[in-house]
Chain A
Amino acid sequence: MKQEKRKKWRETHITPPIKHGSQASGDSFLQGVKDCVPTLLSYWSIGFAAGVVGKTAGLSIAEIALMSLLIYAGSAQFIFAGMIAANGSAAAILLTIFIVNLRHLLLSAALSPYFRHLSPLKNMFIGSLLTDETFGVAMNHLTQKNPIGEKWMFGLNIAAYFNWMIATLLGAVLGQWITNPEKFGLDFALTAMFIGLLVLQIASRQKIAKDMAVALSAVVFVVGASFVTSGSAAVIAATVIAAAIGMVLEKWK
């Protein structure tokens, strides 16, 4: 029974050839680094902004560096800074970050078939360094029928990680000189990023009508739930319900 399920799953997914440790010229660590270059600009800019926002929210440079090192997720770092500035509770911060980063789970899941042959430890390294951008580059490569090997992925990931660290540090250093963040509208940076991510996600998926329905219901529910419970709980409740609505809509189409 399980065999049939697996076969069916494989047939519905394209599986380009997977390199098993050999290093063709298009597949090496350095090539991975090179392929990361187009996305570096976005890392630099968002990283820099994250550093500035973090600093103006009151975090020390050491704390910002630690966040970039350990958390390594732009959206999480922005959320952290924003909620600290608004004196959010620790539990609320953790919960919100967790939900937003849930999408990382999905990205990892999408890439995992191509790395299934590796040990769990290697998969963990690949997964923990995954970002929206590296995911985009990897997917792009796959759709052009290029195989992706683990060394290439490491090159990609490490280049991204390194640049992110430097960018946030620079931003934090610069942020020291900005004393009144609200004056510069910097407190809106987090919201702007959410808006950007929302639009980008809907735009890159094929099912715009359904996504709009999901988005709309999420907004309706978040407002409705806020009458009954706290803001963060409202976000979670709205997400669960709206995602469920999307799930049902997909089944009916």
Chain B
Amino acid sequence: MVLSRMNIPAWAMRWLNNVPVAVMAALVGQELLLSDGKFSLLEDNTKILAALPTFLVALFTRSLLGTVVTGIISMLLLRLVYS
């Protein structure tokens, strides 16, 4: 609403254009690599393992639903195996 009446400088548009990718990547990085705000790659890597098939499904099917379901199922299976 506001933007349709504003003229935003070119560099700001470029920055805004990159925000979606940046924020998603930062969130994924936080979810997978950090736990309680600290780097925890060495302790609990179930999340990273579950993330692998999730990434592949996202890449090949381009389906958000498929990705989420794959993630859930991967996590489910990993937990079964580990416990």
Do A and B share a complex? yes
Find A188's partner among B11, B18, B33, B50 (CB 8 Å cutoff): B50
User: Interface majority SS on B: helix, strand, loop or mixed?
Assistant: helix
Most chain A C-beta atoms within 10 Å of own C-beta, residue among B23, B64, B67, B68: B23
Given A123-B1, A226-B39, also A218-B29 (CB < 8 A):
yes
Given A219-B33, A242-B25, also A214-B16 (CB < 8 A):
no
A26 adjacent to chain B (CB < 8 Å): no
User: B33 contacts A216, CB within 8 Å?
Assistant: no
B24 (CB) vs chain A CBs: closest residue: A198
Chain B residues at the A interface, C-beta cutoff of 8 Å:
1, 3-4, 7, 11, 14-34, 36-39, 47, 50-51, 54-55, 58-59, 62-65, 67-68, 70-79
Chain A residues at the B interface, C-beta cutoff of 8 Å:
2, 5-6, 9, 41-42, 45-46, 49, 96, 99-100, 102-103, 105-106, 108-109, 112-113, 115-116, 120, 123-124, 127, 182-203, 205, 211, 214-216, 218-219, 221-223, 226-227, 230-231, 234-235, 238-240, 242-247, 250-251
Given A203-B62, A219-B28, also A109-B20 (CB < 8 A):
no
B34 (CB) vs chain A CBs: closest residue: A226
Q: Told that A112-B1, A215-B21, A239-B19 touch, could you supply 18 new A-B pairs with CB distance under 8 A? A: A46-B65, A103-B19, A106-B20, A184-B72, A191-B71, A192-B67, A194-B31, A200-B64, A205-B21, A214-B25, A215-B24, A227-B39, A231-B37, A235-B23, A240-B22, A243-B21, A243-B22, A250-B14
